[in-house]
Amino acid sequence: MAGHVNGTSATAPVIPRVGDEEEGVGQLVADLKEKGTNFVLLKKTPQILELQTILKDRTTNHSDFVFNADRLMRLVIEEGLNHLPFTEHTVTTPTGFRYEGIQFNRGNCGVSLCRSGEAMEVSLRQCCRCIRIGKILIGDEQKVLYARLLPDIHSRRVLLLYPTIGSGTTVCKAIEVLKEARVPDENIYLVSLFISPTGLKNITRKYPYITVVASDITSLYPNHFSTSYFGAV
């Protein structure tokens, strides 16, 4: 197929058609639900859409990128926490009335997938002040360069933090590290801002019993996230 600009023939660039992708994403989510995979997608509110737009815009400056990324990370982490187990808990109010509420179970921790995953640590600590956070660093050819995990991580629920997911191979390797540390699949909660359809398929095909929380399923994810958030090295 050729395009013509000012009378000159040129090969047209391949641009994803958003409508087609949205249709495919809808089918993907339906398939995951049918298979019993616990996938959670944030509701497309105007606030969420604006944050996503700012982060995908290549003209967004560093300060605005960090501010809006922090906001979106806080929202996805809050949603991830909604899926952790809890028990009923009754308290007495200052006026002496009994209030029947809930209390989240103890035994949660975070693991950030370096380097971009470290950006999500602050948001997690803003939600869970004293939570302990480990780290995994995966290099070229999916080689594990560093892994600092809690000694009792096998008995904890793990929030795996990684803001943008492309093919999903790095995340799959990180989950493999957690499983080698005897963390059950059902105790792994992958929290991300943007995940591609291919990445979601690859991860959930290999690990169907983990929980995945994201703000968007898109091939137009900001793969410049680390540079834009931390600044050029």
- The structural domains of the chain, with segments of one domain joined by +, span 23-84+108-230
**Lookup result for tokens 């390797």:** 173
* Cβ pair 210, 232 in contact under 8 A: no
Confidence class of residue 3 from pLDDT cuts 50, 70 and 90? very low
Query: With pLDDT > 70 as the criterion, what percentage of the chain qualifies?
Result: 89
The length of the chain in residues reads 233
Is omega for the bond preceding 129 within 30 degrees of 0, making it cis?
Answer: no
pLDDT of 216 above 90: yes
Confidence class of residue 79 from pLDDT cuts 50, 70 and 90? very high
Q: Supply the pTM of this predicted model.
A: 0.88
Question: What pLDDT is recorded for position 15?
Answer: 43
Mean pLDDT of the chain: 90
Q: Tell me what the mean pLDDT of segment 88-106 comes to.
A: 96
How far is it, in rounded angstroms, from Cα 64 to Cα 200?
Answer: 28
Q: What's the CA angle centered on 18, arms 75 and 63, to 5 degrees?
A: 40
What is the three-class DSSP state of 108? Answer: strand
How far is it, in rounded angstroms, from Cα 26 to Cα 24?
Answer: 5
pLDDT of 232 above 80: no
CATH code: domain 23-84+108-230 is 3.40.50.2020
How far is it, in rounded angstroms, from Cα 201 to Cα 186?
Answer: 17
C-alpha dist (Å) from residue 196 to 1, 132, 167, 168? 26, 29, 7, 8
Question: What pLDDT is recorded for position 143?
Answer: 94
Confidence class of residue 140 from pLDDT cuts 50, 70 and 90? confident
* Cβ pair 164, 221 in contact under 8 A: yes
Q: Which long-range contacts (CB under 8 A, 24 or more apart) does 138-146 make?
A: 138/113, 138/114, 138/170, 138/173, 138/174, 142/169, 142/170, 142/173, 144/173, 144/177, 146/114
Give residue-wise pLDDT tens across range 101-132: 999 999 999 999 998 999 999 999 999 999 99
Q: Tell me what the mean pLDDT of segment 197-210 comes to.
A: 95
Give residue-wise pLDDT tens across range 6-63: 333 344 444 444 555 666 788 888 888 888 889 999 999 999 999 999 999 999 999 9
Burial class (CB within 10 angstroms; exposed 0-12, middle 13-18, buried 19+) of 20? exposed
Q: Tell me what the mean pLDDT of segment 189-210 comes to.
A: 96
